[in-house]
Amino acid sequence: MIPSSFPDKTEIARLTARALLEIGAVDFNAREPFIYASGLPGPTYVDCRKLISYPRIRSTLMDFLAVTVMRDAGFEAFDNIAGGETAGIPFAALMAERLALPMTYVRKKPKGYGRNARIEGAMTEGQRVLLVEDLTTDGGSKLSFVDAIRDTGATCAHTAVIFYYGIFPDTIQKLGDHGVSLHHLCTWWDVLQEARDSAAFDAETLAEVESFLTAPRAWQDARGAG
């Protein structure tokens, strides 16, 4: 079923943040920071993959994402929904079902045998493709997926995610310079506000998280991780 009427962006962001907190997909720990894929530390962690195990939340957030994309990009803007390997694949399938569109997925690199393809499924020249993933940090990983889609002769001018970090100021420009618009449901700032409103973490932890979100590089440098 194609959704058409839902709350405004502010309420969608609040409810998405609430859902992530409710299922424990978000964790804050300033005393023992998490180590990110970059090797740098931070007091915040989000795991959107947990969403697939919660049907009511999963369904609600996919409805939110579908209506966000239609509001922002258009009701007839796409011909194909592509998921990024691997976290984006289930969300792309759910989005494709809602928008009644074909679904494909993009490998991080060619599989090394057979057709040696990066695109799995049927994607054809001229199709307008929406790239779906679970989240984006600085937007960098999206560019490789977008290029793989464009190599087929299809176009990709939009990517949609559940969670956008919202703390690296050049992310939107980086994607924009590559001809890609970002659509998302919530950011760390939305999660921080909801965590405060619900008293999900103690005040000291939330203050430390805010310090990190305001200036992540400075926060890391102060802990000798620059």
Domains and CATH numbers, the chain: 9-218 (3.40.50.2020)
pTM: 0.93
| DSSP per-residue letters across 133-178 | EEEESSSHHHHHHHHHHHTTT-EEEEEEEEEE----TTHHHHHHHT
Residues 127-168 have pLDDT tens digits of 999 999 999 988 888 999 999 999 999 999 999 999 999 998
**pLDDT tens digit sequence for 173-209:** 999 999 999 999 999 999 999 999 999 999 999 999 9
Residue 189 CB burial class (10 angstroms; 0-12, 13-18, ≥19):
middle
Confidence grade of residue 91 (pLDDT, cut at 50, 70, 90): very high
- Return the closest-CA partner of residue 84 out of 152, 135, 47, 46: 135
The Cα 110–Cα 108 span in angstroms is 7
Adjacency order of strands within the sheet including 119-120? 119-120, 103-106, 80-84, 128-136, 155-164, 181-187
